[in-house]
Amino acid sequence: MKFGIDYFPDAQPDRVSARQYFDDVLDLAERADDLGYDSVEIVEHYFTSYGGYCPDPSVFLAACSQRTRRLRLVTGAVLPVFNHPLKLAGQLTMLDAISGGRLDVGIARAFMPYEFDAFGVCRVLHVDGRARLQHDGRPLPRRASRAGGEAPALSPGLP
Amino acid sequence: MVLHLFVAPTRAEAREECRPYMEQYLRNFSDAAKAWTDRQSGQYKQYSSLEQMLDDITYERVLDETRAIIGDPDDVARQLTYIRETFGEVYPSFQINFGMMEKAKARRSLELFARHVMPHFR
């Protein structure tokens, strides 16, 4: 049976600063690595003490990759709706290379209404009961679509 | 599967010390879930009642219903066995520092679990 640790930053800035929070969780990840845990995972959220200290799992996991030797690094999860998918794929590929192939990617759809509202990238969650994720409408170029389809394989080496 | 984990040398310590952190975690989640209270979405059914659902969860219910893994190492092994019997071969991912818990307490959970519980499940 495998065991991981999961970070959900629910700290409030007036009590625990972001600097303090990340200092703590990097130390704990290092300890978990020594103790034989299998993975470290972090969320993507915005703006509030509901996870808002971590709008970008890649940044945190890149730091973890340099403080740990064996732990798998897990996005739990990244949210393509708030990130251009090509940028996200490139970023994750870079993280996989930096960490020596330790990345596992989880992808989710997001669910906090104020996050959708602030990004304004999709009209969703209105009271008419119909929710549709609507990107800004520009179709991805064909070549990019193909590349996007291959993204989960996370093969190193971007064009 | 994400599970909150709090391990202490004795059951009494674990249950007493964990309370403020779990209550803080639930309060914080409930505050965030208020954003859903007057919204509805066909693709996010039941989220509109998330705040109410969270407000109904007390620390006592968390303990009684094994909604988190809290206790001494023997308790924790039993709770984990229950989780596995209920959900199958899960891969637990432990929240160890919820509710603005001090690092020393989170580290103690990590260490006690690794030393006394993990070997039984490997």
First to last CA, chain A: 38
Task: State the Cα angle at A6 between B72 and B23, rounded to 5°.
Answer: 60
Gap from B120 CA to chain A (nearest CA, Å)? 9
Average predicted confidence (pLDDT) for chain A: 83
Q: Is the pTM of this model over 0.95?
A: no
Question: Which residues are registered as beta bridge partners of B58?
Answer: none
- What's the pLDDT score for residue B58? 96
The interface pTM score, or ipTM, of the predicted complex is 0.95
Angle (nearest 5°) at CA B32 between B27 and B37: 110
What is residue B39's predicted lDDT score, i.e. its pLDDT? 80
A147 touches chain B (CB under 8 A): no
- B positions 26-65 inside 8 Å of A (CB): 28-29, 31-32, 35-36, 38-44, 47
pLDDT score recorded for residue B4? 98
Q: A122 pLDDT band (50/70/90 cuts)?
A: low
**CB-closest option in B40, B44, B97 to A24:** B97
- Does position A159 have pLDDT exceeding 90, yes or no? no
Indicate whether A45 pLDDT > 80: yes
- Interchain CB distance below 8 Å, A10 and B29: yes
Q: Given CB atoms, is A129 within the 8 Å cutoff of chain B?
A: yes
d(C-alpha B46, C-alpha A60), whole Å:
32
Domains of chain B, by residue range, sit at: 2-121
Query: Buried b vs exposed e over B19-39: b needs ≥16 C-beta within 10 Å?
Result: bebbebbbebbbebbebbeeb
> Closest partner residue to B97 among A28, A126, A130, by Cβ?
A28
pLDDT number for residue A99: 98
| Helix boundaries (H) for B9-72 | 11-33, 50-55, 59-64
Which chain A residues touch B36 with a CB distance below 8 Å?
A: 113
Bridge partners, residue A105, by sequence: A75
Strand ordering across the sheet containing A39-42? A103-107, A72-78, A39-42, A4-7, B93-95, B2-7, B69-71
pLDDT along chain B (122 residues), means of 10: 97 98 96 86 82 93 97 98 96 98 98 98 93
Longest dimension (CA), chain B: 47
Q: What is the structure's pLDDT at B42?
A: 77
Mean pLDDT of A67-71: 98
Look at residue A101 in the predicted model and tell me its pLDDT.
98
User: What confidence category does residue A151 fall into, taking pLDDT thresholds of 50, 70 and 90?
Assistant: very low
Residue A138: pLDDT band (50, 70, 90) is very low
**What's the sign of the alpha-carbon dihedral B17, B18, B19, B20?**
positive
Could you tell me which chain B residue has the CA closest to the CA of A28?
B107
Residue type for position B5:
L
Q: Could you tell me the CA-to-CA distances from A142 to A138, A145, A147 in Å, in that order?
A: 12, 5, 9
Q: CA A153 → CA A79, A89, A149, B81, B96, distances in Å?
A: 18, 10, 9, 34, 31
In 3-state terms, what secondary structure has residue A53? Answer: coil
